């Protein structure tokens, strides 16, 4: 083969170009610090780089953002809880100081004033926020814990829950009102005898609020409920399934309705769905050709809507007043619940279709006789046996099972309800004589009333039988033993919004009803802080705050006010005694002084006992706060451990990423120098070769 000049030049240029490419690649590596600039440079490194970058990005999100945000939230909560425990510790100290019998009225006034200021700080701390989000209000992070001013907001069916330990006593000095200034200054009124001043003691359940929404003549009632265990706790199994229709339609007024309706395979379906959200009642029937007819009835307008659905869920027909509709067939699981009531021996079985939750609760009329299931807005279920058991004392009982969203039993019990009607209400307009009569009526066991509701002070007064019954109730798993259902409309500054503590209903300015906490699910806000790891960062109000602190101070204020009034009465009587002229007037005044001293002694003893009770009550509130501190600290510690692990993982993966992508600068610099020398040498060699032609060899 003949080697020509052209071949030699081409080979030289090819080698020069290769050397230049190698030098350029090394220059690029030096300037970027990376081994490759495009996937084709090295596919293995490229694939590994994508995986490692994804891991590093996720870890950076967890460690640098999520975990830091969660840590800040927990720290804000910890600071607030520290303030709360300090305030409650001071409250306990003040209550202990107030229990001293030797204190004057001025001393007591000073102590109660200090406790009132501490109570205000306690509730205002509950409004602390993190980045504009209130930390103690659960999912409602845009709403403060307490009212910032006096307001009117209509709440109904507030479910105020208690345990047996909340049953206390209420003492009243009956006949005390006869020693008011207006009475003792009236010479025509006979003297109040010492024997007419009697202290009456009844049971008491103090509610979370006072000034309830009841007034004379409104005919409204409240309900006291207490719970006892079933003969055998309910159990459940989710083993079967059925079909249900998912229906969304728009009526002739343009209002959109949604419902999920169970579909039996029998000729007629006995399930009914009642939705208070849109005032609709739904039912369905299976036709002979296998299709389904769904009927909706509006309870307000009495309008009826009909929609026919094929066996596969396809919409077939709709009535003229249905503007548009969407239907589908859904597979629905069924929870089979088994339980035994306290008196029975044969287990009862109830089947509950697990229908989806919507914004508000709705009720399923079950095919099992007498049972309904309420689908709560949080996806849980409340199953009620509506066959009431009359107890002969005006109360009645129902069997209730609370079910979680996956169909398992959360708690089960027999609930006894006592209706407190207007005949057993004490209103703001009630007289002192009316109050005396209520205490006397409760003392007429067994012929007296079971309970009275003092709407002004927010107290349920109990006779001895009911007091004994409620104070000895056993604990119920996952439920409180006692529930008082009432209405409230007027709110003072510092009152906790009831939706932060209780299940309740709220009616807004547009008369729209909103249901709060109708279920058993909590309001935990969880942050993802690692691969398959999350930390709940918020502490809800019910885990920290109680209304007891404010109510305790209110009790002491009321007792002190009565004591001051009686002290003023004694002073007035002594002044009248000094100015009295005849013996008959002096004798009358002396009788009144004896009665007033007796009443004063009762009241002084009462306020001293009240301070002793408040030591225990404030300590319970402090214990609750301390538990919240411990829980928050435990979550913070867990987050610290996760953050430490995230930091280590981030370092490890960044090292792997660097080893995979980044160059060794020293090695690259050496290779670049070598490439440059090679390139320059190739240029010199090519220059010499190109000067020699074939003629030089001939």
pLDDT (average), residues 253-261: 89
Domain range for 411 is: 232-419
Count of residues in the chain:
698
Confidence of residue 177 (pLDDT cuts 50, 70, 90): confident
Write out pLDDT tens, residues 368-412: 778 999 999 888 999 999 888 888 888 899 999 999 999 999 999
Same domain, 387 and 532: no
pLDDT (average), residues 193-205: 88
Give the integer Cα–Cα distance in Å for 179 and 593.
9
Give the integer Cα–Cα distance in Å for 81 and 492.
24
pLDDT (average), residues 238-263: 88
Q: What pLDDT, on a 0 to 100 scale, did the predictor assign at position 277?
A: 75
Q: What pLDDT, on a 0 to 100 scale, did the predictor assign at position 188?
A: 64
> Residue 184 above 80 pLDDT?
no
Q: How large a percentage of the chain has pLDDT more than 70?
A: 89
- 378-408 residues labelled b (16+ CB within 10 A) or e (exposed): bbbbbbbbeeeeeeeeebebbbbbbbbbebe
In a domain, 269, yes or no: yes
In a domain, 494, yes or no: no
In a domain, 68, yes or no: yes
Give the integer Cα–Cα distance in Å for 347 and 349.
7
Which of residues 419, 441, 473 is at a domain's end? 419
Which of residues 396, 419, 442 is at a domain's end? 419
Long-range pairs of 445-450 with CB within 8 A, sequence gap ≥ 24: 449/424, 450/393, 450/394, 450/395, 450/418
Write out pLDDT tens, residues 116-169: 999 999 999 999 999 899 999 999 999 999 999 999 999 999 999 999 999 999
Q: What pLDDT, on a 0 to 100 scale, did the predictor assign at position 185?
A: 64
In a domain, 237, yes or no: yes
Same domain, 386 and 280: yes
Same domain, 131 and 260: no
Q: Considering its fold, how many domains does the chain have in total? A: 2
> Residue 471 above 90 pLDDT?
yes
> Residue 17 above 80 pLDDT?
no
Same domain, 365 and 264: yes
Write out pLDDT tens, residues 203-212: 999 999 999 9
Place of tokens 């209405």: 487
Same domain, 542 and 649: yes
Q: What pLDDT, on a 0 to 100 scale, did the predictor assign at position 186?
A: 64
Smallest Cα–Cα separation from 330: which of 392, 361, 284? 284
Are residues 353 and 336 in contact, defined by beta-carbon separation less than 8 angstroms?
no
Which of 109-118, 261-270, 675-684 bottoms out in mean pLDDT, i.e. has the lowest?
261-270
The beta strand positions in 310-380, using DSSP E, are 315-318, 322-340, 348-353, 362-365, 371-375
Same domain, 414 and 531: no
Q: For the sheet containing 198-206, what is the strand order?
A: 168-174, 198-206, 459-462, 451-454, 425-426
Are residues 383 and 411 in contact, defined by beta-carbon separation less than 8 angstroms?
no
Instruction: Show the 3-state SS of 58-91.
Output: HHHHHHHHHHHHHHHHHHHHHHHHHHHHHHHHHH
DSSP 279: T
Confidence of residue 346 (pLDDT cuts 50, 70, 90): confident
Confidence of residue 3 (pLDDT cuts 50, 70, 90): low
Which residue has better confidence, 609 or 182? 609
CA-based radius of gyration for the chain: 39
Which of residues 355, 389, 419 is at a domain's end? 419
> Residue 597 above 80 pLDDT?
yes
Same domain, 400 and 536: no
Which residue has better confidence, 4 or 487? 487
> Residue 187 above 60 pLDDT?
yes
Which of 80-94, 99-113, 148-162, 576-590 bottoms out in mean pLDDT, i.e. has the lowest?
576-590
DSSP 423: G
Which residue has better confidence, 16 or 473? 473
Range list of H helices, 4-63? 5-32, 43-60
Write out pLDDT tens, residues 161-170: 999 999 999 9
The contacts of residue 539 (CB under 8 Å, 6+ apart) are: 77, 81, 135, 136, 628, 631, 632
Instruction: Show the 3-state SS of 151-178.
Output: EEEEEEEEEEEECHHHCEEEEEEECHHH
Which residue has better confidence, 215 or 522? 215
Q: Region of 157 please: left (phi>0), alpha (psi -120 to 50) or beta.
A: left
DSSP 500-511: GTSEEEEE-TT-
Q: What pLDDT, on a 0 to 100 scale, did the predictor assign at position 143?
A: 93
In a domain, 7, yes or no: no
Q: What pLDDT, on a 0 to 100 scale, did the predictor assign at position 511?
A: 80
Same domain, 130 and 242: no
CA distance readout (Å), 577 to 26, 570, 571, 600? 114, 10, 10, 18
Q: φ, ψ for residue 101 (rounded to 5)? A: -70, -20
Smallest Cα–Cα separation from 653: which of 69, 58, 64, 67? 58
Which residue has better confidence, 107 or 289? 107
In a domain, 640, yes or no: yes
Same domain, 240 and 134: no
Q: What pLDDT, on a 0 to 100 scale, did the predictor assign at position 366?
A: 86
Smallest Cα–Cα separation from 192: which of 182, 206, 204? 182
Q: What pLDDT, on a 0 to 100 scale, did the predictor assign at position 698?
A: 54
Mean residue pLDDT across the chain: 87
pLDDT (average), residues 284-310: 90
> Residue 424 above 70 pLDDT?
yes
> Residue 308 above 90 pLDDT?
yes
Same domain, 402 and 295: yes
Write out pLDDT tens, residues 537-592: 999 999 999 999 999 999 999 999 999 999 998 998 888 888 888 888 888 888 88
> Residue 249 above 70 pLDDT?
yes
Confidence of residue 445 (pLDDT cuts 50, 70, 90): confident
Residue 90: CATH number of its domain: 1.20.1330.10
In a domain, 400, yes or no: yes
The contacts of residue 327 (CB under 8 Å, 6+ apart) are: 245, 246, 247, 294, 307, 309, 313, 314, 315
Which residue has better confidence, 275 or 11? 275
pLDDT (average), residues 617-641: 95
Cis (ω within 30 of 0) for the bond into 487?
Answer: no
Q: How large a percentage of the chain has pLDDT more than 90?
A: 56
Same domain, 539 and 641: yes
Q: What pLDDT, on a 0 to 100 scale, did the predictor assign at position 681?
A: 73
Q: What pLDDT, on a 0 to 100 scale, did the predictor assign at position 425?
A: 95
Place of tokens 């009124």: 189
Q: What pLDDT, on a 0 to 100 scale, did the predictor assign at position 270?
A: 67
Angle 583-661/67-98 helices, nearest 10 degrees? 160
In a domain, 127, yes or no: yes
């Amino acid at each position: 083969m003949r080697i020509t000049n052209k071949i030699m030049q081409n080979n030289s240029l090819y080698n020069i170009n290769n050397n230049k490419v190698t030098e350029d690649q090394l220059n690029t590596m030096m300037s970027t610090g990376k081994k490759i600039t495009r996937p084709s440079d090295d596919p293995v490194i490229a694939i590994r780089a994508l995986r490692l970058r994804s891991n590093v990005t996720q870890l950076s999100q967890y460690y640098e953002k999520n975990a830091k945000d969660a840590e800040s939230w927990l720290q804000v909560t910890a600071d607030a809880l520290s303030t709360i425990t300090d305030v409650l510790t001071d409250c306990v100290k003040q209550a202990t100081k107030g229990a001293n019998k030797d204190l004057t009225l001025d001393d007591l006034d000073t102590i109660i004033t200090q406790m009132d200021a501490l109570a205000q700080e306690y509730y205002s701390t509950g409004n602390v926020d993190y980045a504009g989000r209130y930390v103690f209000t659960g999912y409602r992070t845009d709403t403060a814990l307490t009212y910032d001013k006096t307001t009117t907001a209509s709440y109904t069916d507030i479910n105020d829950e208690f345990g047996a330990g909340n049953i206390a006593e209420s003492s009243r000095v009956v006949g005390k009102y006869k020693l008011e200034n207006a009475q003792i200054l009236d010479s025509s009124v006979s003297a109040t005898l010492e024997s007419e001043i009697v202290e009456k003691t009844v049971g008491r359940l103090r509610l979370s609020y006072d000034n309830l929404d009841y007034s004379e003549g409104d005919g409204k009632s409240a309900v006291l409920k207490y719970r006892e265990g079933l003969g055998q706790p309910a159990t459940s199994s989710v083993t079967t399934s059925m079909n249900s229709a998912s229906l969304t339609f728009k009526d002739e007024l343009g209002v959109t309705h949604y419902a999920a309706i169970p579909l039996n395979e029998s000729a007629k379906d006995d399930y009914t769905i009642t939705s208070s959200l849109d005032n609709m009642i739904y039912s369905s029937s299976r036709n002979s050709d296998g299709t389904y007819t769904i009927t909706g009835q509006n309870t307000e307008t009495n309008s009826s809507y009909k929609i026919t659905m094929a066996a596969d869920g396809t919409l077939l027909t709709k009535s003229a007043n249905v503007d548009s509709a969407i239907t589908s067939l859904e597979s629905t699981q069924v929870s089979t619940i088994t339980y035994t009531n306290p008196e029975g021996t044969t287990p009862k079985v109830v089947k509950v279709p697990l229908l989806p939750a919507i914004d508000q609760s709705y009720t399923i009329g079950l095919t099992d006789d007498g049972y309904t299931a309420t689908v709560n807005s949080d996806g849980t279920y409340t199953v009620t046996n509506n066959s009431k058991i009359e107890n002969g004392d005006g109360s009645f009982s129902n069997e209730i099972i609370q079910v979680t969203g996956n169909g398992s039993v959360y708690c089960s019990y027999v609930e006894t309800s006592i209706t407190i009607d207007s005949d057993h209400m004490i209103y703001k307009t009630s007289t002192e004589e009316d109050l005396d009569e209520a205490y006397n009526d409760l003392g007429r066991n067994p012929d007296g009333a079971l309970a009275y509701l003092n709407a002004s002070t927010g107290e349920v007064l109990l006779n001895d039988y009911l007091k004994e019954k409620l104070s000895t109730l056993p604990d119920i798993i996952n439920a409180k033993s006692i529930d008082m259902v009432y209405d409230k409309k007027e709110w003072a500054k510092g009152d906790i919004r009831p939706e932060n503590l209780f299940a309740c209903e709220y009616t807004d300015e547009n008369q729209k009803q909103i249901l709060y906490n109708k279920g058993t699910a909590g309001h935990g806000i969880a942050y993802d802080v690692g691969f398959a790891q999350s930390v709940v960062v918020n502490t809800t109000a019910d885990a920290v705050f109680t209304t007891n602190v404010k109510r305790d101070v209110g009790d002491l204020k009321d007792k002190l006010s009565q004591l001051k009034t009686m002290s003023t009465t004694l002073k007035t009587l002594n002044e009248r005694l000094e100015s009295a002229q005849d013996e008959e007037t002096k004798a009358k005044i002396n009788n009144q002084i004896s009665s007033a001293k007796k009443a004063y002694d009762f009241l002084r003893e009462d306020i001293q006992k009240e301070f002793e009770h408040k030591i225990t009550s404030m300590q319970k509130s402090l214990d609750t706060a301390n538990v919240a501190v411990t829980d928050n600290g435990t979550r913070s510690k867990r987050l610290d451990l996760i953050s430490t692990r995230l930091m280590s993982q981030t370092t490890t993966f960044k090292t792997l990423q660097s080893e995979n992508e980044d160059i060794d600068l020293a090695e690259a610099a050496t290779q670049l120098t070598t490439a440059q020398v090679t390139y320059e040498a190739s240029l010199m060699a090519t220059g010499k070769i190109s000067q020699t032609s074939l003629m030089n060899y001939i």
